[in-house]
Amino acid sequence: MSGWIDISQFLDEGVPVWPGDTPFSYRLTWTKEESGSVNVGQVAMSTHTGTHIDAPFHFDEEGKRVGELDLAVYAGPAKVLDREGIGWIGPETLAGEEITGVERILIRTGAWKDRSRFPKAIPPVDPALAPWLKQRGIRLLGLDLPSVDPLDSKDLPAHHALARHGVHILEGVVLDEVQAGTYELVAFPLPLKQADGSPVRAALRPL
């Protein structure tokens, strides 16, 4: 065992996407037989597929693109909190939790049970959580959900509030097998210079 726990959704044709968004596809442009030497693949996918980060440009024309994000946010100590069954994610749901000493928190809601389908509803983040996290020095919020706002939201208040308070967003982490506790997190975006979001390979190692 390497000690790393993979908390990424596998990317294949079965990964669910936002309704109407680009389906995931991987195929060979050339097979080894055709090229005479190598298999060469191509991938098509939405930047918000599976386990991914949002760049502020996703919801703000002036916001940073993936290539401008600080990598330091996406690796380092992280606290995993277990909040199975909560209806929303706000300061009240995290009250009583000692989260000093880490800059990253991941919250397990358990609300996305069937990962072969896009969920119908999710517990949303209360925008009031953003200043609460900032006060405690949190720079990354990760959730086991495809969004931090209600799925039918167009104005995305939690996305905006988090960005305004310097809290970066990681969505779609798989925490089914992860115990609450402190871990080292790695979840670097791809170097997609202009992009609004990026899939990540996210992993945790107990600290």
The binding site comprises 18, 48, 52, 54, 159, 171
Question: What does 60 bind: Zn ion, ligand NFK, none (CB cut-off 5 to 8 Å by kind)?
Answer: none
Residue partners of 66: CB distance under 8 A and separation at least 6? 47, 53, 55, 57, 189, 190, 191, 192, 193, 194, 195, 196, 197, 198
Least distance CB 200 / ligand NFK (angstroms) = 13
Give the one residue of 66, 171, 174, 189 binding ligand NFK; rule: CB under 6 A: 171
Q: What is the DSSP string of 47-58?
A: TTSSSEEE-GGG
Q: Which residue, among 81, 158, 95, 73, has the nearest Cα to 122 in the 3D structure?
A: 158
Assess 54 for contact with Zn ion (CB under 5 A).
yes
Least distance CB 197 / Zn ion (angstroms) = 5
Assess 168 for contact with ligand NFK (CB under 6 A).
no
Q: Which residue, among 94, 83, 108, has the nearest Cα to 183 in the 3D structure?
A: 108
Annotated binding site for substrate: 18
15 to 34: interface string for ligand NFK, x by CB under 6 A: ---x--x-------------
State yes or no: is 58 an active-site residue. Answer: yes
Scan residues 52-91 and list those touching ligand NFK (CB under 6 A).
Answer: 54
Assess 196 for contact with Zn ion (CB under 5 A).
no
What is the Cα–Cα distance from 68 to 91, expressed in whole angstroms?
29
| 3-state class (DSSP) for residue 74 | helix
What is the Cα–Cα distance from 21 to 32, expressed in whole angstroms?
31
34 to 53: interface string for ligand NFK, x by CB under 6 A: ------------x-x-----
Binding residues for ligand NFK, rule: CB under 6 A, are 18, 21, 46, 48, 54, 146-147, 171
